Structure 1
Amino acid sequence: MATSSYQGVAAGSQAEHRSCEASVGQGERPSASRGQEGNFKQNQGTSTLWLLLLGKQGAGKSATGNTILGKAVFESKFSDHMVTNRCQSESVSVRGKRVIVIDTPDLFSSLSCPEVRQQNLQQCLELLADDHCVLLLVTPIGHYTEEDRETIEGIWGKIGPKAYRHMIVVFTREDELDEDSLWNYIESKESLKELIKNIGSRRCCTFNNKADKKQRELQVFKLLDAIELLMMESPGPYFEPLKMESSGVQGCGTGVTYEGETLCGSKKRHPQITGPDCDPEMPELRVLLMGKRGVGKSAAGNSILGKQVFKTQFSEKQRVTKAFASHSRVWQGKKVLIIDSPEISSWKLDESDVKNHTFPGPHAFLLVTPLGSSLKSDDDVFSIIKRIFGEKFAEFTIVLFTRKEDFEAQALDTVIKENDALYNLTQKFGERYTIFNYRASVEEEQSQVGKLLSQIEKMVQCHSNKPCVIREKELLNIILLGRSGAGKSATGNTILGRPAFFSQLRAQPVTSCSQSGKTTLDWQDVVVVDTPSFIQTPGTEKDPSRLKEEIHHCLSLCEEGMKIFVLVLQLGRFTQEDEAVVEQLEASFEGNIMKYMIVLFTRKEDLGDGDLHDYTNNTKNKALKKILKKCNGRVCAFNNKETGEDQETQVKGLLKIANSLKKNYDEHSNSWMGQLKSTLGQITMAFK
């Protein structure tokens, strides 16, 4: 059997090893049977085959080389930096042929500097000599990234049209295909599909470098069959010796081109989550960069990752980072995922939008702020983050000060102690802070990144490695109460931000029955219930149960959650009808309702330059004073003709009072909702 032959040959071979400093050894090679020699000798007039492994950092080149060789020769492990830093080779006899496997570092992607790439390419040239060579492009299934594209473009740019005649694609991590087929995976990646179209659908194979020995041997034979087919399809002069130009090495991330068609189709680049070929079981640390525009979040992310992946440039007029982006690295056996974010005020405060980028939540928030800048606008950042993740977000936050280079003469601790704003900021986050110097040397930069990551890890361990999960949206029901004509419907439309309720000035009531509308405001679902004037509900004089039915209908429009009552009054026009509404509500809810009521005055525009609290404090209307006292002074005012930011400011003011009242519910009156339900079930009407 072929497998046993491979085992015997591999086991009995005297493998020769050569690095860029040594020559391939000429040790004795065991012979193989005539049947095993097969078409290799017919299609290639030499008994030596060169296999050049190419691919990005972490693609699995070294592991693939070890599988082909049948033994662990090349160092292969997960790391945040290149494990293979020079070209090296090892040979083995298979089917009577001397197979030389050349392992390479990342030769083409932009992750390595041009000087290193050129040096490694020169080493590769020395190893290639003049023998026939097959290019094995190694790419991991499920992790096809921009670096893979750069490798393909780099091969094309250095070798030209003949590259595809020598190429076979080896997909590693075959085990991740599950029940899906390789072809479905290829179809899902446009540039991969174009590549396979150019080189031929039979020029690819899959490897699971963690498979058992027998399975790995079968994989090798399939690869050799594909190589044999490649030679048959390119006989004679077409399968010519492969050489690369030794000079003019270009950065493959800068658009290397070759005249004619491209090997992998369009050069359009798509953002990908990049990083080393991480083990799926590897622990992950998700770090969300946050801060106002222009503070250097993207630059901080690049420093942490050790590579330029996030776009950075100075712009006063427009945002540079317009959408979330994620890139990763490996650090001390953990995958560190850095999530760069746009200006926080531009976030769509939608649950699905934020969850898509941070699910199930960040392990750490990194507040990036330049040392010496104004911290006032950071309050907006805290406010938005708090609405999404809750008060607990502060326990997961570290402050990253930048611009250390501007304060080299002073110690950071001294600067903080001498500045009240900085001191208060660091106290808010448990004195967890560090600083970056973007003019630091490579060694200093690595040191400051290591210090930060250690600080993050320590904080995460304090939370038992659990992330800060996005808090559930808390629903708030706002029930608008008041006499007819006070402006309940217009107020409801202002809160909802749309004309959901019919609102018009008429002598007779416009709203005849309760109705509701729903919106999301500041990460909170808000249900607004517009009601008729209960004392004007038709038929209540003859049948008091009609009023009970209307109240039940009103409450049935609410969703499960807190109910806040808002008494709508018209500024400067408190009537006996308003007073009667309050008396009726107190009678219906046994007096408790006023403890959980907000008074909202409409026609705020009539105040002019006056102050609402001056108006309520100085009113001579005893009935109104009594109501305001029962509501504990919770008042606000609306101009329902306002639009835009002025309208939003009014609504935020109401929600602030409502949520404060809600918090009071939670802490001091947990029995109120149960009491309310009981009261409604046994409601006794005041007017019979």
Structure 2
Amino acid sequence: MRIILLGSEEGGKTSAGNTILGRKAFELKKSAECIKKDGVVAGRQITVVDTPGRRKDYLASSTRILYKDEVVRSVAIASPGPHALLLVIKINCPFEAVCKQAVEEHLQLFGENVWNHIIVLFTHGDKLEDITIQQYIQDEGEPLLELLQKCGNRYHVFNNKERKDHSQVNELLKKIEDIVVRNKGHHFQMDKHVLQGLIVKKKELDEKAKERRMLMPRPKRILQSTDLRMVLLGHQCSGKSSAGDTILGKNLFDFKTVPTSVLKKSTVAGRQLTVIDTPGWLKDGLLKDTSKKSKNEIVRSVSLCAPGPHAFLLVIPVDSTFTNSDEKSIIEHLEIFGDQVWSYVILVFSHADWMGDTAIELYIESEGEAIQRLVEKCGNKYHALNNMTTGDRPQVIDLLEKIEHNVIVNKGNHFEMDANIIDKMELCSLQEEVESDGKNQRRGEGLTSGDGDTSGYGTSLHTGPLSLRSDESMENFTQF
């Protein structure tokens, strides 16, 4: 009997695999690749394939290519094909319309025939307490009811805390046997050419990942800097603030969306670190979609860490897809600083826990040309950061050494803004100040600066050579 486990992260999928096999066969950690385990259960030879998890509300268009390819490849790993695919859903976790749509889109990767082999496996059965599973399903609402109807109303409940309760496993295996009978003894099958293509693609990507790893600049001489200054850049919810906390080894940054750039300092591995967190932009939003206030604050980050940053850390999460729109958005936002900025950019791939033990290069190679072009634009400088393990200092020291190596490559120089950009920004600031003064005069005399300042940061912008005097200072900076 061959079984494939599908579902979102933290739904109890991997624990369910251990419950079925009656032992701790699977490690309870995230992985970007399928894992297969075998065992004998109730006199049956059982093969269980655990697939990577995904975010439960991510549609297929938002899910990274590596995940989608690997999940479909599970059919080949369970060769000649699974008898059942167990769709794991956690009890006591709202199952909304977007969750149903996400499930349907991802199962569509297998083809329409997959629904004849699906059983919904509810985990965390202890959360039912005094109600029946039938009552829970009714109470949960239409999205879950419609999904179960599409699965032929086949479902089962597991309590992974009661692994010694063999009856729950035996009942599941009996339901799988019933599916086999209903499907006239046939297991689930996919087009052999599709599966063979995925196997070949995986081998090619593994080779390309190894080659890319060899391109990574390796520090020949470490500049033991006592002072390193860096700026965090990226879209909203990219993991910028978490990355800042991981680097500094402390919970210093506010994870809420903030309108201003924020400076924090700490001593790490004998180095005095200055880290600037900046406002994020929309994931695939163009520069024109970003508020003037946010653009001002992003540029102001340079003056906050005067005389200038040693590195810009461009944070990109690996738990979602990376498109041409993402690439265009990033390039537009970074070129606010001028073309020379790319010599100081290091890509920081956040949410690296999603990769498990899989090398980050596999994400780069599998995700497509957009991310590969960006990596090459940055001189193949990148680093994977697992923000879930802030106590993992080796990953931070490795990043600091990469920054120090880049300082050497840049001949010991920090980043400095182009004089022409500064001149244009100062002109915009002056024009905006004149316009602002005119508005204040029309509002009447006696308006204090405190009453009039609604920007959230007021005169705090009078810092360093880039003295941006209002949140509207780039109104006429048309090329930005």
Q: TM-score range by the shorter chain?
A: 0.3 to 0.5
Could you say which structure has the higher helix fraction?
2
Q: TM-score, normalised by structure 2?
A: 0.44
